[in-house]
Structure 1
């Protein structure tokens, strides 16, 4: 069965391609390499023994997307990762985010719904909840006004998918995940941000390697035990496996509704300072960090209630924070050696 993975050479996309190939799926990875590297393709091949078919295309080009699906009209499902994903950058450049995250989604859905089978896994985010009123966050939590353009694109994306499913034969699962970290246990693929990292863990590992002078902790005056933001950090391989489980649910028609939603996290919240301390413990490295002003677009806390994914999907995160950080450090050391 042919599965198209958009953003297939990105951080989460590449790990998901590995898990799909491990389960015997025929994968076509699509990426414009705006925040990824072609070398990831060889990494996937080294891990799985199979190099996925790869196409370097920009999904913002409607004609190119049409041509792609015309050639791959035997596609039975799409896992859609292709999107810009940094909260801070989205505040600074909102139009880039609306063009990249919304237009590409619409063009892919237009082509997918023209095919006999239209199964769609959407890479959503806990940012759709805004600052949730209660913790841990369940799928029934009210959708608050988005704090950032990035979060807004995920809210709008979910609405577009829901409306499309009502009008077509599209079946979709929206996976709202929390904070993916870590790397494959082989240290052959991992998070490879281009330029200055926008996420905490690669900034930590780059600081530990001496690539960054110091790590900035954005605010220590939040209403949390140590004053720093709290997030739910999930290992990327656990996350990738959830996408395969969700896809299989659609392909075997076990979904209970045309659009289903699941939180993907560990269920445990960790503060920025707790992550720093855990990293120092597993790496033996002392981090140079400083407290700076809050960053616009950041919420105080977000961690998941994962009961629904555990019970309905039969999926559960298995990797601890320390294990995930250790894998990220192993990966960072390998790519710098």
Structure 2
């Protein structure tokens, strides 16, 4: 089976593409290269990557491909607010174009990686399910993902099976590590300054999922009976994995020998708060996440300490997606439309 992973040079894409290759799939990648040099450790069994922007894909890019895993996107809320129109162009129009070209090329399955950010700020104390919950995206990133998800799922039919995974906030080690997502950030800032800073009162709810569990969920969809996934979305996360930010900070604290936690409420960075149900993925796909905060956090600490010991700063542009985009812009490597200059 031939699988194309878009965005395979990102945080999740790096882990997912290697995981799928190690499972025996014939995997190739398509990526524009924003984060190509953001690599911290050598990658074993890395896949071939076609250097291309998803806004420019053609039918020929998908010839002979059975399954597309679409990860490519401007990857979080701060980057999305850098230019909301470009976020829409890439995350919505680019994603829909990718699906349409894949469909025309005869791709059988299209797995769109959406986000739980579409739930935004929820006033409900109940866990949100995929279909009946209110969608309340707060940012250009979340809105673009929600629009793309709806349009791509509407394309699903007997010859082109489209499905969407809505992962919780991802955490865990990757050769292209990110320090700008919540649990990773708590651990990495703790390692750097011997104190964990929480930029809220700690009460917002934030579901999480380990990076390898997301890769496993993608494989489950690759293998799944088409009728089970066609036109459907699935929340992906740890069962009973709805944590407050305070609980995440305390889990990071356990991984870091009990260093202090400081709650900073004067400038709340991220107002999102929602609890999510993961029952559909368990019941319909038989998927259960395996990696918890303690094991995932311990791995981040172990691998990070090795690099810190070599003098590597794990809070610089290579682990922060907004800083990396700004670096590419300021150094004239990409233009204002976020395309690499020739």
Please give the TM-score of this superposition, normalised by the length of structure 1: 0.82
Matches of 1:248 and 1:39 in 2, distance apart?
30
**Compared CA separation, residues 287 and 121, structure 1 to 2 (3 A):** farther
Q: Does 1:155 align with 2:146?
A: yes
Q: Residue in 2 aligned with 1:273? A: 246
Kindly report structure 1 stretches of 4+ aligned residues shifted beyond 4 Å: 38-42, 212-216
Matches of 1:191 and 1:289 in 2, distance apart?
28
Question: Pairwise mapping of residues 21-170 of structure 1 onto structure 2 (< 5 A)?
Answer: 21-37=21-37, 39=39, 42-43=42-43, 46=44, 50-60=45-55, 62=56, 65-66=57-58, 69-70=59-60, 72-132=62-122, 133-165=124-156, 169-170=159-160
Report the CA distance between 1:56 and its aligned residue. Answer: 2.2
Report the CA distance between 1:113 and its aligned residue. Answer: 0.9
Report the CA distance between 1:31 and its aligned residue. Answer: 1.8
Q: Which runs of 5+ in 2 are unaligned?
A: 311-342
**Compared CA separation, residues 175 and 219, structure 1 to 2 (3 A):** same
Please report the RMSD computed on the Cα atoms of aligned residues, expressed in angstroms. Answer: 2.5
**Compared CA separation, residues 71 and 101, structure 1 to 2 (3 A):** closer
- Contact 2:77/2:142 (<8 A) preserved: yes
Q: Residue in 2 aligned with 1:219? A: 200
Match of 1:328, SS state, is helix
Report the CA distance between 1:26 and its aligned residue. Answer: 0.6
Q: How many residues align?
A: 307
Q: 1:242 aligns with which of 212, 217, 226?
A: 217
Deviations 1:61-114 (A, max 9, x none): x2xx11xx5255100110001011222332343123112212321221221011
Q: Residue in 1 aligned with 2:340? A: none
Q: Does 1:283 align with 2:273?
A: no
Matches of 2:199 and 2:287 in 1, distance apart?
33
Report the CA distance between 1:242 and its aligned residue. Answer: 0.5
Q: Residue in 2 aligned with 1:201? A: 183
Report the CA distance between 1:286 and its aligned residue. Answer: 1.5
Q: Residue in 2 aligned with 1:223? A: none
Please give the TM-score of this superposition, normalised by the length of structure 2: 0.81
Matches of 1:41 and 1:70 in 2, distance apart?
33
- Contact 2:62/2:101 (<8 A) preserved: no
Q: 1:230 aligns with which of 187, 192, 205?
A: 205
Report the CA distance between 1:176 and its aligned residue. Answer: 0.9
Deviations 1:105-129 (A, max 9, x none): 1221221011223310011111222
- Contact 1:41/1:52 (<8 A) preserved: no
